[in-house]
Amino acid sequence: SPVLGIESSCDETAGAVLDREGRVLANVVSSQHAVHGKFGGVVPELAARAHITTIDTVVAEALQQAQVSKRDLGAVAVTQGPGLAGALLVGVNYAKALSYGLQLPLVGVNHLEGHIASAWLADPTFPLPCVVLVVSGGHTHLYRREADGCSALLGCTRDDAAGEAFDKGAQMLGLEFPGGPAIDRIARSGDPQAIAFPRFRLRKSDLEFSFSGLKTSLLYKLRDMPAPPTPVQVADLAASYQESIVQVLVDNAFAALSQTGLSALAVVGGVSANSRLRALLKERAEREQVRLSLPPMAYCTDNAAMIAAAGRQVLVQRGVEPLLPLDIHPTTVPNGQGRVRPAGR
């Protein structure tokens, strides 16, 4: 029977319904960009409050669009973490109340497992084992994923996540929040070769990323030109900055393929919505005969269809269990600007 997915880890309140075969019947996302825009980053307290006021409407709308009544649901899946604690609590407590009231099994889903599941939502026959690149607001992680659903980390960022680099770069360029889509749009009218930005791949043999030096480099370029930069300069800076990020992502992803000997690559998370990254990945995958899963835009940034899909996999593998106690696993702490970043780094 249908699975309801709920996501509230950061600044998107989302609800989705999958049918018994795992097809998406409804995928509703309410973004809080208007709430956080003027602060230039996600404000945790405001995020939690906005989830509280929106979550019931979002879930009701998803059920309505799917033409599924609460009583027809077979399970509820909810994001348990990583994410902002207050934001996660809203989704988890809502899901607990709902599943308790309806006596439905409740599955806690790791947000990154959700992003990864979006690759199979888009392409159910995508093969395993494969390489997965998770590129989002808080993560830039390369995994080797096995047929049993286990993932081994091949490499990750030493400092900022790719999405963070987009957001902070956009802020420096005076573009609106969130920065990724803004840079993507402005870059289309700019020259990606106009400004030489460093491309940080630490060593050719390893699969780590680093974006903080690039950010500093943008700061210096801006400092060295008359302020404010002209629209043409902003477009060139955006295009060149973006090019530096996406080239490193593509290089490392394909280096991971050759190191593992695999020929299937899934790229997921908010940054995988980037048009330049998508074009480069498609081009290179075709040239190197790599099977590529690049989910449609609606599954790239945060959504609940991916959470329902990951939850459904758990139910299929583990079977339905009676209601278990479920708690949040934030495992990430907001940094000074309220962005989500894994703890201990």
Q: What does the binding site for Mg ion look like in residue numbers (CB under 5 A)?
A: 10-12
C-alpha 120/C-alpha 299 separation (Å) is 10
The amino acid at residue 329 is H
Is residue 319 a contact partner of residue 293, using CB atoms and an 8 Å limit?
A: no
- 32-44 burial: b if 16+ Cβ within 10 Å, else e: beeebeeebbbbb
Q: Where does residue 153 rank: exposed (0-12), middle (13-18), buried (19+ CB within 10 A)?
A: exposed
Task: Report if residue 303 touches ligand ATP, rule: CB under 6 A.
Answer: no
C-alpha 137/C-alpha 207 separation (Å) is 19
- Selected from 138, 295, 334, 338, the binder of ligand ATP by CB under 6 A is 138
Residue 36 near which of ligand ATP, Fe ion, Mg ion, none (CB within 5-8 Å, type-dependent): none
Structure token digits, residue 40: 């230039």
Site string for Fe ion, 289-308 (x = CB under 5 A): -------------x------
C-alpha 302/C-alpha 180 separation (Å) is 14
Residue 160 near which of Fe ion, ligand ATP, Mg ion, none (CB within 5-8 Å, type-dependent): none
Count residues binding ligand ATP (CB under 6 A). Answer: 24
Site string for ligand ATP, 160-189 (x = CB under 6 A): ---x--xx----------xxxx--x-----
Q: Is 134 annotated as a binding residue?
A: yes
Is residue 27 a contact partner of residue 303, using CB atoms and an 8 Å limit?
A: yes
For 273, phi then psi, to 5°, come to -80, -10
Q: Tally helices (H) and strands (E) across the chain.
A: 11, 12
C-alpha 48/C-alpha 206 separation (Å) is 38
- Cβ neighbours for 60, distance < 8 A, ≥ 6 positions apart: none
Structure token digits, residue 69: 């009544």
Residue 184 near which of Mg ion, ligand ATP, Fe ion, none (CB within 5-8 Å, type-dependent): ligand ATP
Nearer to ligand ATP, 68 or 162 (CB): 162
- By CB under 6 A, the residues from 250 to 269 that bind ligand ATP are 269
Nearer to ligand ATP, 159 or 184 (CB): 184
Q: Beta-carbon neighbour count of residue 204 at 10 Å? A: 7
Q: Is residue 127 classed as helix, strand or coil in its secondary structure?
A: coil
Q: Is 3 annotated as a binding residue?
A: no
Task: Report if residue 136 touches Fe ion, rule: CB under 5 A.
Answer: yes
Residue 244 near which of Mg ion, Fe ion, ligand ATP, none (CB within 5-8 Å, type-dependent): none
Nearer to ligand ATP, 86 or 270 (CB): 270
> Which residue, chain included where needed, has tokens 């995020």?
47
Distance of closest approach, residue 136 Cβ to ligand ATP, in angstroms: 3
Is residue 85 a contact partner of residue 328, using CB atoms and an 8 Å limit?
A: yes
Task: Report if residue 270 touches ligand ATP, rule: CB under 6 A.
Answer: yes
Distance of closest approach, residue 273 Cβ to ligand ATP, in angstroms: 4
Nearer to ligand ATP, 23 or 188 (CB): 188
Judged by CB under 6 A, the stretch of 18-26, 54-62, 73-81, 137-145 that binds ligand ATP is: 137-145
The amino acid at residue 291 is R
Binding residues for substrate: 134-138, 167, 180, 184, 274
Question: Residue numbers of the site for Fe ion (CB under 5 A)?
Answer: 136, 302
Binding-site members for Fe cation are 111, 115, 302
Residues near ligand ATP, by CB under 6 A: 10, 82, 111, 115, 136-139, 163, 166-167, 178-181, 184, 269-271, 273-274, 301-302, 340
